[in-house]
């Protein structure tokens, strides 16, 4: 269990040595979603595959992971062909349950946004599941706006749900 007083001021990219702890952190943080989806949020194999396509940023607290977020550039459907990575996205935002409510999630989002901006992205997006009703207002306060919905196709769902896609222009005031 991470110690809140030992939080490092730096956030780093995850390494292969973090795979187990990162998977555990994500699964512990996402236990809040057990009311609508069964089982763990992720697996070591999924985390490994995602890390090959993007980056996991982690906050280390006394040798244990306190928070993490997955970041990657992606094509923007509205972009001109050949424009490069004008859009970024983040997901799997995870904060150790015992450290939630202390601003670590906002801190990880800010670093994810900065990373996307450094990659040349003009926008950053996130998907939230509609049954987590507290999430859209949280992201709206950070400057994100709803841009559409897509199906939530995980076969383990316990109730109907969908993703809300949200996007923010980088450099915009929240």
CATH class for domain 7-125? alpha beta
Q: Where are the alpha helices (DSSP H) in the chain?
A: 19-29, 44-53, 104-118, 135-141
pLDDT of residue 4 exceeding 50, the answer is no
Question: What is residue 80's predicted lDDT score, i.e. its pLDDT?
Answer: 65
The per-residue pLDDT for 46 is: 94
Token pair 């993007």: residue: 54
Enter the DSSP assignment of 32: G
Structure tokens at 29: 């943080």
- Between residues 136 and 53, which one has the greater pLDDT? 136
Secondary structure class of 83 (helix, strand, coil):
coil
**32-41, 102-111, 131-140, 148-157 — which is least confidently predicted?**
32-41
- Give the per-residue pLDDT at 8: 43
- Tens digit of pLDDT for each residue in 13-25? 999 999 999 999 9
pLDDT at site 174: 40
Q: Which among 169, 13, 163, 157 is positioned nearest to 76, based on CA atoms?
A: 169
**DSSP conformation class of 158:** S
CA distance 97 to 84: 37
Q: What is the domain partition of the chain in residue ranges?
A: 7-125
In this model, does residue 173 exceed pLDDT 50? no
């Amino acid at each position: 269990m991470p110690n809140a007083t030992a939080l490092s001021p730096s956030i780093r990219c995850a390494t292969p040595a973090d795979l187990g702890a990162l998977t555990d952190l994500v699964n512990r943080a996402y236990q809040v979603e057990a009311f609508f989806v069964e089982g763990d949020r992720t697996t070591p194999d999924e985390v490994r595959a995602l890390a090959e396509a993007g980056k996991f940023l982690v906050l280390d607290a006394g040798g244990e992971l306190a928070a993490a977020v997955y970041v990657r550039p992606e094509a923007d459907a509205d972009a001109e062909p050949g424009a490069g990575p004008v859009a970024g996205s983040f997901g799997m935002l995870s904060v150790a349950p015992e450290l939630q409510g202390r601003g670590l999630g906002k801190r990880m989002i800010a670093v994810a946004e900065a990373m996307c901006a450094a990659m040349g992205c003009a926008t950053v997006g996130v998907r939230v599941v509609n049954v987590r009703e507290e999430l859209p207002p949280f992201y709206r306060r950070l400057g994100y706006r709803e841009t559409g919905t897509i199906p939530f196709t995980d076969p383990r769902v316990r109730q109907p749900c969908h993703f809300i896609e949200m996007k923010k222009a980088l450099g915009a005031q929240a």
